[in-house]
């Protein structure tokens, strides 16, 4: 058995696999399938200051090698999370990354502050959500806005802060450097790519929100490229995600520079996907006589 343990921002993970935010809820349903402690970590459902009902259906659409979603951050709010969900998760011997979001930098900071006196291990700040103070632009697509929201959240918490980056940008390394400069302890990427499907019989978009986030296997090569670019541009750890569906995919992202890997859309087609990926990673490392998964982080040799 290879050593699958990794350390991100001073936090020890028994293995590098983390179900991504939005696909795993708070783990209740999946615990009926496998023990949550098999996982390295869990990124919780994106949580906002107040309860959100999300977008109007239809909110999900299939695509070749992937899916579009426009759920709209449906969640019960931070107070419910802290009181009802977090105590349950903290019993599971797994690292908990509380994924948070907000419409303004101040709102994100307030959510983070409410987590400061809890035992949550890490905060993952989603900067790909709408920023209503700036005409609906996303924090994650402008360096100044990304830096400002990171700065505000950094002031509000001493927890390890992971900033989740949007791929819908010209140069993701600029955004990564901006959040690093304002105190991010790590970055996670990629979030979904903006996409659209149209029902040719009705002439209307399939999603009621017209556009949604593309995830799944189709985005994997983009994720590998962006993880590699960011890992070579910053001095903080990178958590990779985007289209991972096998142990070999996870190995590839780690070779590109990721210290840990989140698994998203694959869980919808196979609830056992995270556990299978952990086993497949171990088998690969054993087959190559690699004693620790840490040896492959950033091991790619560019031509």
Q: Is it the case that residue 137 has pLDDT exceeding 90?
A: no
Q: What mean pLDDT is predicted for residues 182-211?
A: 97
Q: Are 240 and 262 in contact (CB under 8 A)?
A: yes
Give the SS3 label for residue 42: strand
Element (H, E) at 6: strand 6-8
β-strand partners of 300: none
Distances in Å between the Cα of 224 and the Cα atoms of 96, 110, 244, 257 are 24, 33, 10, 9
pLDDT digits (tens, 9 = 90+) for 232-256: 999 999 999 999 999 999 999 999 9
Distances in Å between the Cα of 213 and the Cα atoms of 7, 16, 114, 279, 281 are 30, 24, 28, 29, 28
pLDDT digits (tens, 9 = 90+) for 47-59: 999 999 999 999 9
Spatial separation of the C-alpha atoms in residues 45 and 67, rounded to whole Å: 18
Q: Which of 98-112, 134-148, 201-215 has the lowest mean pLDDT?
A: 134-148
Cite the active site residues: 129
Half-sphere exposure of residue 269: CA atoms within 13 angstroms, side-chain side: 15
Q: Are 109 and 156 in contact (CB under 8 A)?
A: yes
β-strand partners of 13: 6
Q: How many CB atoms lie within 10 A of CB 10?
A: 9
CA dihedral 99, 192, 166, 264 (to 10 degrees): 40
Q: Which residue has the tokens 């309860």?
A: 51
Q: What mean pLDDT is predicted for residues 109-125?
A: 98
Residue 44 lies in a domain: yes
Residue 99 lies in a domain: yes
Q: What mean pLDDT is predicted for residues 139-149?
A: 96
Would you state the structure tokens that stand for residue 24, as one six-digit string? 């795993």
Would you state the structure tokens that stand for residue 109, as one six-digit string? 């900071």
pLDDT band at 128 (very low <50, low <70, confident <90, very high): confident
Q: Which residues span the domain enclosing 145?
A: 6-55+71-194+215-296
pLDDT band at 130 (very low <50, low <70, confident <90, very high): low
Would you state the structure tokens that stand for residue 302, as one six-digit string? 């560019």
- Higher-confidence position of 144 and 129: 144
Q: What mean pLDDT is predicted for residues 56-82?
A: 95
Residue 209 lies in a domain: no
Indicate which CATH number applies to the domain containing 174: 3.20.20.70
Residue 208 lies in a domain: no
CA dihedral 44, 46, 51, 56 (to 10 degrees): -120
Spatial separation of the C-alpha atoms in residues 47 and 275, rounded to whole Å: 25
Q: What mean pLDDT is predicted for residues 28-47?
A: 96
Residue 165 lies in a domain: yes
How many domains in the chain?
Answer: 1
Spatial separation of the C-alpha atoms in residues 231 and 202, rounded to whole Å: 44
Residue 1 lies in a domain: no
pLDDT digits (tens, 9 = 90+) for 252-277: 999 999 999 999 999 999 999 999 99
Residue 77 lies in a domain: yes
Q: Are 278 and 44 in contact (CB under 8 A)?
A: no
Q: Please name the residues in contact with 201: beta carbons below 8 A apart, sequence gap of 6 or more.
A: none
Q: Is it the case that residue 31 has pLDDT exceeding 80?
A: yes
Residue 239 lies in a domain: yes
């Amino acid at each position: 058995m290879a050593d699958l343990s990794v350390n991100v921002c001073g936090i020890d993970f028994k293995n590098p696999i983390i179900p991504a935010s939005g696909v795993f809820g708070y783990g209740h349903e999946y615990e009926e399938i496998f023990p949550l402690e098999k996982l390295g970590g869990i990124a919780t459902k994106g949580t906002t200051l107040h309860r959100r009902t999300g977008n109007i259906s239809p909110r999900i659409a299939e695509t070749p090698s992937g899916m579009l979603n426009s759920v709209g951050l449906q969640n019960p709010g931070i107070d419910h999370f802290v009181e009802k969900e977090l105590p349950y998760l903290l019993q599971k011997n797994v690292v908990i990354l509380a994924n948070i979001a907000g419409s303004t930098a101040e709102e994100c900071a307030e959510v983070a502050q409410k987590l400061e006196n809890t035992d949550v291990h890490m905060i993952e700040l989603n900067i790909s959500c709408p920023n209503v103070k700036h005409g609906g632009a996303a924090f994650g697509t402008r360096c100044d806005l990304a830096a400002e929201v990171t700065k505000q959240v950094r002031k509000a918490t001493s927890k390890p802060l992971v900033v989740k980056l949007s791929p819908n940008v010209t140069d993701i390394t600029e955004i990564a450097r901006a959040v690093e400069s304002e105190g991010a302890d790590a970055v996670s990427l990629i979030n979904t790519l903006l996409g659209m499907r149209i029902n040719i019989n009705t002439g209307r978009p399939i999603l009621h929100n017209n556009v949604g986030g593309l995830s799944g296997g189709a985005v994997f090569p983009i994720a590998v490229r962006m993880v590699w670019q960011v890992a070579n541009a910053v001095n903080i750890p990178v958590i990779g995600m985007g289209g991972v569906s096998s142990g070999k995919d996870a190995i590839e992202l780690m070779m590109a520079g990721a210290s840990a890997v989140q698994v998203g859309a694959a869980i919808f087609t196979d609830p056992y996907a995270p556990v299978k990926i952990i086993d497949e990673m171990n088998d690969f490392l054993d087959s190559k006589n690699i004693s620790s998964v840490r040896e492959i982080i950033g091991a790619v040799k560019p031509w």
